[in-house]
Amino acid sequence: MNRNSKSYNAAVIASLVILLLIGIFLSISIGSTRIPLSEIISAMRQGNNTSKAYRIVSYVRIPRTLAAVLAGCALSVAGAILQAVLNNSLAGPSIIGVNSGAGFFAVLITAFFPASLYYTTVAAFIGALIAVLLVYFIARKTGASRMAIVLAGVAVSSFIGAMTDTVLILKPNTAVERIAFLIGGLSGVTIDRLSFASCFIVFSLVISILLSYDMNLLALGDESAKSLGLNVTRIRFIFLILASMLAGSAISFAGLLGFVGLIVPHISRFLVGYDNRILLPVSALIGSIFTLLCDLLARILFAPFEIPVGIIMSFLGAPFFIHLLIKGRRGQLYD
Amino acid sequence: MIKLENVTAGYNNVEVIKNINIDFEESSITSIIGKNGCGKTTLLKTASNLLKPFSGKITIRGEDVLSISNKELAKKISYLPQHRPVPNITVYNLVMHGRYPYLGFSRTPRKKDKEIVEMAIEHMGLNNYINKNILELSGGERQKAYIAMILAQDTDIIFLDEPTTFLDINHQLEILEIIKNLKTMRKTIVMVLHDLNSALRCSDKVCLLEKGEIVICDTPQAVFESGIINEVFKIYSKQVLIGDGTGKQYEDTKQYVFYLK
């Protein structure tokens, strides 16, 4: 089968959907209490609030599974967008400061307005947007090379990290509450909190896929894309906002999950190539599967103890990032 | 066809080209020549509306380019930059990008778009490379793929920034033949060329730029005979006839040589 053919892409998507469904089932079934499929189905059918299985599934496992699916898909698509828009295969929400920007604003609102739970998503979104625009602006001033963007990201992340630390020191209670958030984890996510963020995620995802062909043109370079009639500045700005909405929303309930936004677009490109029309949906699916898998590992590796999913992601992500750097040094990086 | 009136343009408030007045004629080849940094690329970018001029007016068949939307303008003017990132896509997909101004909201190519893309690929002799990745092509083949994209864009005016630079001599000559062939398709071609011999041999008009201003813009013979090329580049030049002496191949064998003063 030709790697770029429609049938190949359809086969990839179908396989990923099957893997995702398996992942969802395992995520609902496996945990400190193992619930077999038959029990899940009968508990959900009866809808009996007093049943242990029903309560575990509907109040713990389903929100957690949905959170993994949404966070993974949002962060991966945000990563794929940032890599395409900034023309930098090392860009990802955590690398270019989106995560720390969103995290800082989320910490800020928790510290000063603890009652405003719903505003966390909006705050995280604004934080992500500010960070991404800051990095973009600095990188543009210095020629927007790949290294300039990564370095600008490091600088902005450090600065925001210092501000986050300041808030945490001034408000020590927040520090205790936000450790899980800073590491990134999915335990304790509620449907209420998810529903708000999921609106942002679904909306941004749909718009991103609709505009994905325009994103393809950016790979030709700004001048060629402009001469083809694309409003480059506008489309780049729209995608930066979409990436910030995706990353900010995911971070608002999942915390600072590292590396998923960096790794998944690379795996997706390896599978389906550079056409964003297929790359974005595939990144969304792989991101969800990857996050579900990491969350499962986080739950079962040291059972009955649980470690935050962010730690597992960093364990897997950091070596992959180093692998990319070495590959890039040999001149083999994808672009 | 496309007319620049009193156009001044540049970057960061620094004027690079000054008070340019020029009318690029329909179905003609105009070469812009000049020393490094004299504003050739700036002139090309300004004329193709990629760079907004500080002052002056640019019109296409009397219509102000500022009144034309991006997409409509992309149906009239195409531009091939010298420096560009190489995308990781197939030749077919690259050439299909040329149809972007004609695609609807869903960005789905129609039958006509696909036919035009296939014709452009065939015209450039790239049929065997249609599913090959651009990254795998040689410099010359890559340039042909980009020209196929320009062909698919189907504009009357084509701007080319140093289309033969970095190519081997075989591909240089092949690309120049392709450009001459574009003229027979009633295209108006404006290109920046560093190779003065090619510029003088292939063009209907040659524009010589110095310090952002047009010094002379005339037929190649007139520009050569004016001696201004020698003054601007601080060189000597000679016209040489290569042939069997019968004069039958006079036009084809007229060459120009340049050497230091």
Give the span between the Cα atoms of B28 and B74, in whole angstroms. Answer: 20
* Residue whose token pair is 């099957």: A18
What residue segments make up the domains of chain B, in order of their start? 1-76+155-229, 86-154
Q: Would the CB atoms of A229 and B77 count as touching at under 8 Å?
A: no
What domains sit in chain A, N to C, each tagged with a CATH number? 69-329 (1.10.3470.10)
Four-CA torsion A283, A287, A289, A293, nearest 10 degrees: 150
Q: Would the CB atoms of B48 and A227 count as touching at under 8 Å?
A: yes
Residues A201 and A73: beta-carbon distance below 8 Å: yes
For residue B34, give how far its alpha carbon lies from the nearest alpha carbon of chain A (Å): 22
* A68-107: pLDDT as tens digits: 999 999 999 999 998 888 777 777 777 777 878 888 888 8
Nearest to A227 among B50, B87, B90 (CB): B50
Give the span between the Cα atoms of A93 and A79, in whole angstroms. Answer: 6
pLDDT at residue B54 in the model: 95
pLDDT at residue A331 in the model: 45
Helix axes A98-112, A232-254, angle to 10 degrees: 50
pLDDT at residue A333 in the model: 45
For residue B196, give how far its alpha carbon lies from the nearest alpha carbon of chain A (Å): 26
pLDDT at residue A169 in the model: 85
Q: Which of B97, B132, B151 to mutate to test the interface with A (most CBs of A within 10 A)?
A: B97
| Beta bridge partner(s), residue B260 | B235
Spatial CA neighbour of A244 closest among A146, A119, A98? A98
pLDDT at residue A334 in the model: 44
Q: Would the CB atoms of A220 and B84 count as touching at under 8 Å?
A: yes
* Residue whose token pair is 């300041």: A166
For residue B206, give how far its alpha carbon lies from the nearest alpha carbon of chain A (Å): 24
Q: Would the CB atoms of A228 and B73 count as touching at under 8 Å?
A: no
- With CA atoms as reference, the chain B residue closest to A269 would be B88
Give the span between the Cα atoms of A168 and A183, in whole angstroms. Answer: 14
User: In angstroms, how far is the first alpha carbon of chain B from the final one?
Assistant: 39
Question: Which residues of chain B are modeled with pLDDT < 50?
Answer: none
Q: Would the CB atoms of B85 and A335 count as touching at under 8 Å?
A: yes
Which residues make Cβ contacts (< 8 Å) with residue A111, sequence separation at least 6? A167, A168, A170, A171, A174
Residues B49 and B58: beta-carbon distance below 8 Å: yes
Q: Report the 3 state secondary structure along B137-191.
A: CCHHHHHHHHHHHHHHHCCCEEEEECCCCCCCHHHHHHHHHHHHHHHHCCCEEEE
Q: Report the 3 state secondary structure along chain A.
A: CCCCCHHHHHHHHHHHHHHHHHHHHHHHHCCCCCCCHHHHHHHHHHCCCCCHHHHHHHHHHHHHHHHHHHHHHHHHHHHHHHHHHCCCCCCCCCCCCHHHHHHHHHHHHHHHCCCCCCHHHHHHHHHHHHHHHHHHHHHHHCCCCHHHHHHHHHHHHHHHHHHHHHHHHHCHHHHHHHHHHHHCCCCCCCHHHHHHHHHHHHHHHHHHHHCHHHHHHHCCCHHHHHHCCCCHHHHHHHHHHHHHHHHHHHHHHHCCCCCHHHHHHHHHHHHHCCCHHHHHHHHHHHHHHHHHHHHHHHHHCCCCCCCCHHHHHHHHHHHHHHHHHHHHHCCCCCC
Q: Would the CB atoms of B50 and A221 count as touching at under 8 Å?
A: no
Q: Would the CB atoms of B77 and A2 count as touching at under 8 Å?
A: no
For residue A239, give how far its alpha carbon lies from the nearest alpha carbon of chain B (Å): 17
* A203-222: pLDDT as tens digits: 999 999 999 999 999 989 88
- Is the CA virtual torsion B190, B194, B195, B197 positive or negative? positive
**CATH superfamily of this structure's domain B1-76+155-229:** P-loop containing nucleotide triphosphate hydrolases (3.40.50.300)
Spatial CA neighbour of B79 closest among B27, B121, B44? B44
Q: Which of B11, B90, B100 to mutate to test the interface with A (most CBs of A within 10 A)?
A: B100
The encoded tokens of residue B177 equal 């033949």
The encoded tokens of residue B222 equal 């007139």
Q: Which residues of B touch A273 (CB under 8 A)?
A: 88-89
pLDDT at residue A335 in the model: 41
For residue B165, give how far its alpha carbon lies from the nearest alpha carbon of chain A (Å): 18
Q: Which residues of B touch A335 (CB under 8 A)?
A: 85, 88
Q: C-alpha angle with apex A145: A140 to A146, nearest 5 degrees?
A: 120
Q: Would the CB atoms of B79 and A227 count as touching at under 8 Å?
A: yes
B184-to-B17, B121, B170, B177, B193 alpha-carbon distances in Å: 31, 18, 22, 11, 20
Nearest to B100 among A221, A229, A335 (CB): A229
- With CA atoms as reference, the chain B residue closest to A231 would be B70
Q: What is the pLDDT along chain A (335 residues), one digit of tens a residue?
A: 566 678 899 999 999 999 999 999 898 888 777 777 777 777 777 777 777 777 787 778 888 899 999 999 999 999 999 888 877 777 777 777 787 888 888 888 888 887 666 677 678 778 888 888 888 788 777 765 666 777 888 899 899 989 988 888 888 777 665 666 667 777 777 787 788 788 889 999 999 999 999 999 998 988 999 999 999 888 888 888 898 889 888 887 887 776 788 889 988 988 898 899 999 999 999 999 999 999 898 888 877 777 888 888 888 877 877 776 677 644 444 44
Give the span between the Cα atoms of A48 and A55, in whole angstroms. Answer: 8
Residues A287 and A260: beta-carbon distance below 8 Å: yes
Q: How many CB pairs under 8 A join A and B?
A: 69
Q: Would the CB atoms of A220 and B77 count as touching at under 8 Å?
A: no
For residue A144, give how far its alpha carbon lies from the nearest alpha carbon of chain B (Å): 13
ipTM confidence: 0.91
For residue B90, give how far its alpha carbon lies from the nearest alpha carbon of chain A (Å): 9
Spatial CA neighbour of A205 closest among A231, A260, A253, A243? A243
Q: Would the CB atoms of A228 and B100 count as touching at under 8 Å?
A: yes
Q: Would the CB atoms of B50 and A275 count as touching at under 8 Å?
A: no
Give the span between the Cα atoms of B149 and B84, in whole angstroms. Answer: 14
Residues A256 and A103: beta-carbon distance below 8 Å: yes
Spell out which chain A residues touch chain B, with contact meaning CB-CB distance below 8 angstroms: 2, 4, 87, 213-214, 216-217, 219-221, 223-224, 226-231, 273-275, 334-335
Which residues make Cβ contacts (< 8 Å) with residue A175, sequence separation at least 6? A168, A169
Nearest to B84 among A4, A214, A224 (CB): A224
pLDDT at residue B8 in the model: 95
For residue A229, give how far its alpha carbon lies from the nearest alpha carbon of chain B (Å): 4
pLDDT at residue A4 in the model: 64
